[in-house]
Chains A and B, each alone.
Chain A
Amino acid sequence: MDNIKIQSVNLNAWFGTKQALKDINLSIKANAITAIIGPSGCGKSTFIRTLNRMHELTPTAKMSGQILLDSQNIYDPIVDPVMIRRRVGMVFQKPNPFPTMSIYDNVAAGLKLTGARKDKNLDEVVKYSLQQATLWDEVKDDLKKPGTSISGGQQQRLCIARAIALQPEVILMDEPTSALDPIASAKIERLVVELKKNYTVAIVTHNMQQASRVSDYTAFMYLGNLIEFGSTKDIFESPKNQLTERYITGEFG
């Protein structure tokens, strides 16, 4: 497996004394979509938040083990978490555009506020990012309107555009459609599939149909353990573990 983009090695994570992740070893391939499924509280959100060092922002959070991004441990003391987050972008469960900024500024925020704009043409980056997020045609005449003035589904695509603007290598998505209606969700799903041409995507989802529709690989987690990982086809058609089978057939979860 040589095209591994990001990989967890013996990863454990805690909130206070409660262990949220138990010895997770998982490899996420480049330019593919890896879905992480499992019932609530199984640690799937915690897992992807360790991939861009967002986990440590929670006051009582601890972790051990390694996350290798292009074979480099991102938890190495010499690594600046801020630089990791520029390479590994994130889209959250609830659309969270910056409430005080326009649509344009929301997309440009990453470049402006990280000082990464240098000699890039902001207008072009904003347009490109919104096009990539399939939002450009809907908002191109309203770029000066507040980012919170558009619909929930549009806001979520705005958040994806905001992440894309920084040209990350990996995009993490934490249940990006769970706050959206089915039509908006379908648009996001199509977009996610498009994104894998240019990015590595890891998506946490509650929705098993979504996982089976969009992803190339699926990881099933339960109570902080990685139960099974494989190609989405294998996981859904011939799961090896009984827990996986029971979960995907809707017996529990």
Chain B
Amino acid sequence: MVNLFEKLNLHSYRLRKFKNKFFYILCLICVIIAIVPLLSILFEVIVRGAPAINLQFLTGKGLRGGIGPAIQGTMILIGLTGAIGIPIGVLTGVYLAEYGTNKYASWIRSINNILTGFPSIIVGITAYSLIVVGLIGGFSPIAGAVALSFILIPIVARTTEESLKLVSNSVREASMALGIHRWRTIISVVLPSAKGGLITGILLGVARIAGETAPILLTIMGSSFFFGGFNESMDALPLRIFINSQLHTQAAQTQAWGAALVLILIVLTLNIGVRLASRGRYHNKVTR
């Protein structure tokens, strides 16, 4: 009896163990499927782009010169878009998380979720018809930044809301019970507690907009020259890559690969830099 029992048990144990292993391997295979293309892209960009990079490439202009205007343009776009999009996005997230118990908030939340996945070409056309044609009458870095803000705002708003909701309610209560006003509680107690999540969200958004091509194609158009004013066309790295990739000369192709590598490096540096700079004194300390 004992033997039989053990045998049966062992059989189902082996089956369970097999199922366990099977599931684990299935997950692992999917991870590999997901990560191999990413790594190969990175590898390809580094191998083909790295030879192109030198000081002249980074600062010069033109096909024989370098991608200076594109780097400058991307920096300007990131700065302008951040200046427009981050405050609006963060405050929208604050509204949704801290005041969002009414029915309007759930509407805003749904609309925001739709906007997060909105086709960027449509954002580009909207900014084109409203600002480029309607307001300014020409291509403009501001039109580009507004278009990119449409993409940045929903991402920042959503991640802000989610990271604020992770802040324990007891922290809010502690502050309110001291007779600290609600707005002050949010700014001085809740937002600092959610800082890590906030910064991650902003970085995700900035990385996303740095690589967007469609909205800026229709708003800043691309240029071979450095920044010439807020009512002139401007270059940016995704545009440079897009335009050069359509030219069939070796020089243009190499420059496009180099620009791709620079774009990746900018996003990466921004990521690491902001993370280091914002690592607060009490980073990762969790309330008991």
Contact = CB atoms under 8 A, between A and B. Distances in A.
Nearest to A109: B178
Interface stretch (A25-33, A80-88, A193-201): A80-88
B170 A148 contact: no
A97 B178 CA distance: 12
B281 A85 contact: no
A143 to B, nearest CB: 13
B174 A159 contact: yes
Nearest to B170: A96
Interface size class, chain B: 20 to 34
Contacts of A86: 178-179
B33 to A, nearest CB: 39
B103 interface: no
A114 interface: yes
Nearest to A116: B179
Contacts of B168: 96
Main secondary structure of the interface of A (DSSP, over half): mixed
Given A113-B188, A148-B286, A148-B288, A100 B193 contact: yes
A166 B177 CA distance: 11
A171 B127 CA distance: 57
B250 interface: no
A74 to B, nearest CB: 12
Given A85-B177, A113-B184, A149-B285, 13 more contacts: A83-B179, A87-B179, A89-B178, A92-B174, A96-B168, A96-B173, A97-B174, A97-B287, A99-B286, A102-B281, A110-B179, A146-B282, A148-B288
Interface of B: 101, 168, 170-171, 173-181, 184-185, 188-189, 192-193, 195, 280-282, 285-288
Interface of A: 52, 54, 57, 59, 82-87, 89-90, 92, 94-102, 109-110, 113-114, 146, 148-149, 152, 155, 159, 162-163, 166
